[in-house]
Amino acid sequence: MERKKVLKKVTLLGFFVAGLIITFNFSAKLKEGKIVPTESIGLVADELEVNKNVFSLQESFVNVARTVKPAVVQITTEKTVTLRYWDPFGNFGSPFDDFFGRRQPKKKEYKQKRKGLGSGFIIDSSGYILTNNHVVKGVDKIMVKLLDQEKKLEARVIGTDSKTDLALLKIKGRKAFPTVKLGDSDVIRVGEWVTAVGNPFGLEETITVGVISAKGRKGFGISQYEDFIQTDASINPGNSGGPLVNIKGEVIGINTFIIAPSVATGIGFAIPINMAKDVFVQLKEKGKVVRGWLGIVIQPLTESLAKSFGLEKSEGVLVGDVMEKSPAEKAGLKNGDVIVQFNKKVVKNPSELQQIVARTSPGEIVPVKIIREKKKKTLQIKIEEMPADEKVIAETEERRQWRGLQVETITDNLVKRFNLTTEEGVIVSNVEPGSLADEAGIRIGTIIKQIGRKTIRNLSDYSSAIKGVKKNEDVRLFVQEGEHTHFVVLKGEEEKQKQ
């Protein structure tokens, strides 16, 4: 009996040991990848693939930070401003002055240094730095700090371009500086990963990650040539001028501005690097950017405007005004012409035409196809160099302002803003206080529909009509305010002087 019990225990122990051996061998083979339970095959494979992709993406961002940061700089600026205040206890004179109330406060001045902060990146090993124009505009001193050194280097401005909000700086101190690699912003796609590098709030070499949210954003009034990349990578004060980088570590944009945090978050904008490449070359070689110039005021050709000109399609760009002695005027371009081709390139909107003209070399003669009074015509226009901002602005405002009035084309935004019921006419954008227009009761938002007996459908009609009104002549205007229309008389300039 005892013998049977011993044999039973030995047998059980044998089975147990055998089980341990089998389990050990199975586990070993499982680890070696030789045996995988059927129900777990998909799960293990998926987990391995996910981990592989996650670590690969993570390493990509690490590589971007490692390769780009050495060429990103912190820019600090200094500007001396004069502040004025009134000293209520100043200008003491005779003891009787205070008694008779003749004591006058004294105007005092003092100077204060104001500091600014921004970012930039080295684009050339000899020390050329690209940044935003608004970072360095009007400052007295610019200092640059690199990642690997505490000592700041003084930078000088090589050239600026307000039309694209770009500036080129130069620093010295090394034989060769680290540089960034430039990408191609024309081939970027919405949804691609991007990294913003800069110095937000003075926090050096900060990296933020997001995606390209949209392309071709414009209409902000930040600069004349707008074609911004929109991103949700965090951009804050101090990021301006820093690079927007793709997953390959290539700079595809220059971080420029954000929508106010009180309005929205995660909406930042960058200048495409392809726009900056040409600006860099010209600023480096000439210290300025030379652009082609036509000398016209242009506007979108809406469906209603196209219909008013008897056109079947709203394709092309409408000429609202032609500047005196400009290339356009010399070639015979007129108000109301619709530009459909420039130098054999089809033109679809004002922004596109603006970009093409700007890239045309001054002195080049280009064919410009237009539609005038329903007939197609080709003009040969010799492009000239775009004059300074001040000259263009002054001439445009002078041509647009008339008897204290300034008007604009009625756009979709203005229709929504003023709750307009029509797109025909021109809308008053400004009225000079005390002017003839002010005395006539014309207000901002008023739509001018008729001048004299001439119907005003657009800016071209308006410009043509006011040219036909003599300086001292009273003229009747038919206007619309809200849903109501009425007539007003706008007095001549000499009539006002006689009063």
Of 315, 386, 387, nearest in space to 348 by CA? 315
Cα dist from 324 to 368, 379, 465, whole Å: 19, 17, 17
Length of the chain: 499
CA distance 418 to 444: 10
CA distance 347 to 319: 13
CA distance 470 to 492: 8
Beta bridge partners of 195: 209, 245
CB 136 within 8 A of CB 161: no
- Pairing state between β 181-182 and 250-258: parallel
Cα dist from 56 to 61, 63, 185, 252, whole Å: 9, 10, 24, 22
Largest CA distance in the chain: 143
CA distance 17 to 402: 106
CA distance 333 to 328: 5
CB 109 within 8 A of CB 82: yes
Provide the CB-side half-sphere exposure for 480 (13 A, CA).
Answer: 18
DSSP 310: T
- DSSP track, 467-493: HTS-TT--EEEEEEETTEEEEEEE--H
Of 410, 385, 407, nearest in space to 396 by CA? 407
Can you read off the two tokens belonging to residue 293? 């110039």
Looking at 23-64, which runs of residues are DSSP E strands? none
CA torsion angle 181 185 188 190 (round to 10): 120
Residues assigned a catalytic role: 134, 165, 240
Of 202, 207, 211, nearest in space to 119 by CA? 202
CA distance 319 to 220: 22
CA distance 234 to 232: 6
Can you read off the two tokens belonging to residue 311? 């056109």
- DSSP track, 433-455: TTSHHHHTT--TTPEEEEETTEE
